[in-house]
Each structure stands twice: as structure tokens, then as C-alpha cells.
Amino acid sequence: MNNQVQLYSLVKKLYQANFWEDYWDNDIIGIQLPDHKDPVFISILGKAEQNFGFLIYRNLEELSYYFEMRKQAEFSEFNSAIEMLQTHKCISLNFEDRKEIPKEEYEKIKASGVTFRGKKAWPVFTDYKPGYYPFAINEKDVSFLIAVFEKLIETATDFRASLQFYEKEQETYEILMRTYKRDGSYEDGFYVVPEAILEGVLDNEVEYASIKLTDFEMKRVNNQKMKHTIWELDIDFIGVPVVPPNGGRPIFPSLLIVADTKNSEVICSEFVNPIEAEKIQRIIIQLILAQNGKPPKIVVNANRYVKIASCLENLLTTLDIELVPVQKLPLLSVVKEDMLEYFKD
């Protein structure tokens, strides 16, 4: 039996098991595979919204994105689909109508010889990674998923009798866990999710970039006077995927955009890599010099505050500029909507 046949045969068994009749999406299951460093974590979808499927988090780092997604959904609405995508880092298996699945997926299913029929019954795999366009799984993923699904079918079946565990109030966040040994035997227990993972992605310990500029550059910009204005600043993904020059998986480029609220003018719009702190710092001081003055305050979207602060906090503190998180950037929100419409056209 080749990998595709084995994969879709297991997928059909998962579909027929109807786990979403009993599991809520926050009833996370943990499975420790013998040759896997971290446990694999699975969320079962469908009981609440009738969108049937599974989210497979390959390790603890990916699980932190699950909690980040929950946190952001609870405390603020996602402004766009691209913003929501940045909280996804996992493999999803969703069951869709036949007419809604991509042609490539249909060809794989057809070639496997495994039959699927009915509404919301056709499997679609998607690999999610922040900054990248949702993509098809690769052959390495197929082998991994076969190993997971073989264990998930029996584990989720057995744990059905223990789901009342998730209804109890817990001092720590625990999930049902099955640990497999190389000989196929297993032990059932509970897994305490580390506090750092529960905090999500953005609240994990952040390394603030040092000032990457020369003393001459800093002296020059420090001599600028404070202006009576506030800047809005954002570094966010643009929802139009771009294929890298060397090919491969399409990416969502990041755009640094700055607006001066005093005259309602966009003063910077430049594509950047969020990890290139030196480039971002240099753009800011060039803006200050071009505007002949420093803003006493720069406001940023609260959801991206940590990411932006990691690049700019030390620089702005030295320049006596306050970096302030806010729930919404009034001027840039409108500007970004107009830009998205432009890209769509």
C-alpha cells in the first residue's frame, strides 16, 4: 500500500468515526509518538459550527499559536483574513463539498482509489505557516500524518469515555495524553501545558534589538526637536501572496507604513523583513530627519506591539519617543483598506 492510499484510507476512517459529535474544538488530545520529541496535539472541529475536520499541531511551538488564536479571538476581532492566518501554524484536514476542493486534491483522492461521497465529506489538507500562503502538504507531511492518524483513531475512540475531564475547572491547563512506546504499547495520562505556551506567541519572552545605528547617526537624529504630532506605525502582512524570485511557496510580504496624524499624510510605505531590525531602525531615523522633527509618541496596533517593540523599543526610548499600543489605528486602518482594494483590482 503506497502512502497516498494509506493516508486516505485512514482519513476515511476518521470521517466515519464522527468524533465531532462528542469532542469540542477545545478538547485537545495529546499523542506522544515514540520517535517524536514533542507531543502532537489535535483539535477536532465540527461540533460547534459544522465545519468538520482536524487541526494537527506538530509540537509545542505550534500549539502556542492555537492559544494565540483563542486569545486574539476573545479580546479583539480579527481585522482581516490575513490577520487571522498569522495565528495559524499547523496542518488542517477539512471535509468539504466535492465542488469546493482544489483540482489537485481531487486528483490525489482519485488516484488513491479511496472513495468519498456526500456533502462535507471530501478531504482537503492545508499547511499553515505565518507569513506564507496556505499550501499543500508535502511527502514528509504525508508520512507524519499517517503515523498520527493511525494512533488518533484508537486514541480518540478510547478517550470518548473520558471527555467529562474537560468540563472540570482546572488550576493548570491539562489535556488527555496517550504516550506510545516503540513496541506499540502505550500509557494514558494527563499533560500539563506549560504556562509559556498558554500565553500564546506574542507574550513569550521577547528579545529587544539593540540600537544598530552609528553614534553619528544617533547624534544627528537626537538634535531634532519634538514636533506637535503623533505618528501611526504598522508592520503587517499584505494579503496578496508573492512568489519568491527563486520560486517555492508564495509569501505574504510585510509592509512598514507610517502616517503623520497632524496632516493625515502617509510618510512611509516600504516592504521590509520584520526581523531586519537595523533596516527598520534606519528607516525611522531617516523619516525623522526628512520630517525635520521627532514625534513625542508613536502609536501601534496592540496585536503587533510586541513584534514592533522588539525592533524599535530601545531606539525610541533613547530618542525620548513613546511607543504606545492602541486597539485601532484610525488613519492607517482606512489607508490599508484602500491599498487592499487597489491590489485586488
Global pTM value? 0.82
Same domain, 174 and 263: no
Same domain, 60 and 166: yes
Same domain, 263 and 171: no
**Residue-level pLDDT at 206:** 58
Task: Give me the CATH number covering residue 248.
Answer: 3.30.420.10
Same domain, 273 and 134: no
**Of 91 and 72, more confident:** 91
At residue 337 the predicted structure's pLDDT band, cuts being 50, 70 and 90, is: confident
* Distance from C-alpha of 83 to C-alpha of 91, rounded to nearest angstrom: 18
Same domain, 251 and 330: yes
Same domain, 234 and 191: no
C-alpha cell at 85: 492566518
Does residue 298 sit within a domain? Answer: yes
* Distance from C-alpha of 56 to C-alpha of 146, rounded to nearest angstrom: 12
Does residue 204 sit within a domain? Answer: no
Average pLDDT of 74-102? 82
**Which domain-ending residue is among 170, 198, 226?**
198
> How many domains does one find in the chain?
2
Same domain, 220 and 164: no
Owning domain of residue 93 = 3-198
Does residue 36 sit within a domain? Answer: yes
**Residue-level pLDDT at 189:** 96
Distances (CA, A) of 137 to 75, 182, 189: 32, 26, 31
Share of the chain above pLDDT 90, in %: 69
**Residue-level pLDDT at 245:** 84
**Residue-level pLDDT at 182:** 93
Same domain, 8 and 142: yes
Residues 6+ apart with CB under 8 A from 258: 231, 232, 233, 266, 267, 268, 269, 284, 287
Q: Which residues pair with 256 in a beta bridge?
A: 235, 270
Write down the residue that cell numbers 463539498 correspond to. 97
Q: Which of 125-129, 166-170, 267-271, 285-289 has the lowest mean pLDDT?
A: 166-170
Q: Which residues pair with 90 in a beta bridge?
A: 128
Same domain, 340 and 236: yes
C-alpha cell at 148: 498520527
Same domain, 50 and 181: yes
338 pLDDT more than 90:
no
Q: In this structure, are residues 97 and 81 in contact, taking their beta carbons and an 8 Å threshold?
A: no
Does residue 48 sit within a domain? Answer: yes
Instruction: Tell me what the pLDDT averaged over the chain comes to.
Output: 90
